[in-house]
């Protein structure tokens, strides 16, 4: 029983350290730190969305070619949303690199859905 308890403790410690390391990397990215430090304007974010995102996600973010983004902030963290927008890692979503203020505005709009 002692070996199993030690192994379980070691695995849990490794997982916690991994989570801590990922969070440190996320919060140390200068672009993300800047975006998160800014107060976004949801009206401006809506305009940015209409120009860059509505073609796939629909005019009211209810989905079309891309998925609905209604309540997306309940499914993804702020970091996850930023990463999704700038990474374009879910094909066919293109990479989109707004400046920090535009991203803060877009994030504010997405959180209002």
CA dist., res. 104 & res. 84, Å (int): 14
pLDDT, position 36: 95
Mean pLDDT on 8-25: 62
pLDDT, position 95: 84
Backbone angles phi, psi at 73, to 5 degrees: -70, -10
Residue 94 pLDDT level (bands cut at 50, 70, 90): confident
CA dist., res. 9 & res. 6, Å (int): 5
pLDDT, position 1: 57
- Express each pLDDT in 18-69 by its tens digit: 665 555 555 578 999 999 999 999 999 999 999 999 999 999 999 999 999 9
Domains contained in the chain, CATH given: 29-112 (1.10.760.10)
- How would you class 88 by CB atoms within 10 Å of its CB: exposed for 0-12, middle for 13-18, buried for 19 or more? middle
Q: What percent of the chain is modeled with pLDDT above 70? A: 81
Secondary structure class of 56 (helix, strand, coil): helix
pLDDT, position 90: 80
Q: Would you call the peptide bond into 92 cis, given omega within 30 degrees of 0 as the criterion? A: yes
Mean pLDDT on 1-22: 66
Output the CA angle 11-15-16, nearest 5 degrees.
120
CA dist., res. 34 & res. 21, Å (int): 20
């Amino acid at each position: 029983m002692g070996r199993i308890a030690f192994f379980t403790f070691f695995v849990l410690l490794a997982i916690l350290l991994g989570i801590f390391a990922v969070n440190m990397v996320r919060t140390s990215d200068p672009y993300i730190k800047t975006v998160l430090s800014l107060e976004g304007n949801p009206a401006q974010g809506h305009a940015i969305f209409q120009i860059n995102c509505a073609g796939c996600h629909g005019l009211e973010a209810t989905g079309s070619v891309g998925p609905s983004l209604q309540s997306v902030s309940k499914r993804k963290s702020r970091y996850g949303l930023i990463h999704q927008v700038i990474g374009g890692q879910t094909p066919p979503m293109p990479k989109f690199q707004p400046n920090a203020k535009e991203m803060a505005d877009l994030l504010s709009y997405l959180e209002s859905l």
